[in-house]
A and B are shown apart, each in its own frame.
Chain A
């Protein structure tokens, strides 16, 4: 979706601005990954819902026009993330 671009960037950049601390012996990469997923959950979930919606729209119109699975249905390069 065209309007999502700036938000993706803003989200990603905002996390980048968080001060990084140097790695040391007790580092636990698992916690950060867990939290990160929760942080982006709403965003990736919403993006997914939108993609599914558009696929259904395309499939619907593909059927309407009587073409079996138009090329557009799945193969258009979609907006990132």
Chain B
């Protein structure tokens, strides 16, 4: 059974993604024939696929095409979990930017160039950024500037500069501006001292002025200086240098010292909890795990250790950043840290609200970890237990959830500044609220604490 193009894939005349019988294919249209052939014959595809910069694909039978004007049909390798730039930490965005530039350099060596430098063309595959838009390459036209320059500056350079010089939370701007942060907006938000940094003065401030100045120009003037290959390489290196210089050293956040701070668990309690999580994971045997509110990924790594691909979500960009740096330092391939506010998760975005998927559309997970989490949602955010259960029902098949009672020191802190309007927030109330959606398979009390760990299985209708 075929459908038309996949929802987000409609802007490019070169081709599009589509599903047939549940398999994802990329159709290459006749329009792109010359470029695709060069991509292969020049060795660029091989060079990029072998160095893990480009998602590999297999060529499928052209008869599988969705429309008659197909030249080729490709079957790309699937990305385990699709994520978006507004869910990435600072270093994830920076690595995605550097990957894009690296790909462009290799492309230039093979007589080709990227037509797009959109952050949405990068995905994380086994812990590292890869380009997924195989049709983004075009044969190099001598003398022409980089058509993707504007996009690179808006998708990568501007947000990174804003995160470095203003506030890391400005990474969220890409949720609103889905074609990258407009340069003049970045210009007004960045502190004045960035005008003295040559790379930013050039690629953001001066670049923005040029855009505004020529906003009404119907035709591009004939360039007096040709844009030579040397200028091109110089531009890419200049951008690379600009990106590399943007660094962010996180300050202390509320969450970053959580496991060291010790008033939640004794050392024995912590060990016991880890053993239980390990045991429950083994029993449920999931193929994909989502760790919700996973902090720096302590428990996500228990799943990853067993080879289970795990996405580790947390609201705190500092935690996600630390988590990501660890995955890079240790070469971990099974943990994907992402920024996510569970009380306001990534919505569906773009044209018709269908180009970027909401969190729910990217699920469900086989198993979700909700450790030291639910009291923040119920008491901290006033989400009734019943609604919480419904949320989990949509998000996972198995649930490892920790109930943190009112006697716990952390909950007492939450209640210290709130009226206690939570009469049902007890272990019995919790089990009752979750009982209609989930069956309790295991229930264990964590040593030296009042907390209880559950393994629950979603009831199927």
Contact = CB atoms under 8 A, between A and B. Distances in A.
Interface of A: 5, 8-9, 11-13, 15-16, 18-21, 23-24, 26-42, 44-49, 51, 78, 80-81
Contacts of B242: 80-81
B227 to A, nearest CB: 5
Interface of B: 145-147, 149-150, 153, 182-184, 195-199, 201-202, 205-207, 209-217, 220-221, 223-228, 230-231, 233-235, 237-238, 241-242, 245
B143 to A, nearest CB: 10
A81 B157 CA distance: 14
Contacts of B207: 32-33, 36
Contacts of A5: 198
Nearest to B245: A80
A12 B210 contact: no
B96 to A, nearest CB: 20
Given A20-B184, A35-B220, A12 B230 contact: no
A9 B198 contact: yes
A12 B202 CA distance: 6
A30 to B, nearest CB: 6
Given A38-B227, A42-B231, A78-B241, A20 B212 contact: yes
Contacts of B224: 38
A31 B184 contact: no
Given A11-B202, A21-B216, A27-B212, 15 more contacts: A16-B209, A28-B215, A29-B211, A31-B220, A32-B211, A32-B217, A33-B210, A41-B145, A45-B228, A48-B231, A48-B234, A49-B234, A78-B241, A80-B199, A80-B245
22 contacts: A8-B201, A11-B202, A15-B210, A16-B195, A21-B213, A23-B184, A24-B215, A29-B215, A31-B217, A32-B207, A32-B213, A32-B217, A33-B145, A33-B211, A35-B214, A37-B149, A41-B226, A48-B234, A48-B237, A49-B234, A80-B198, A80-B241
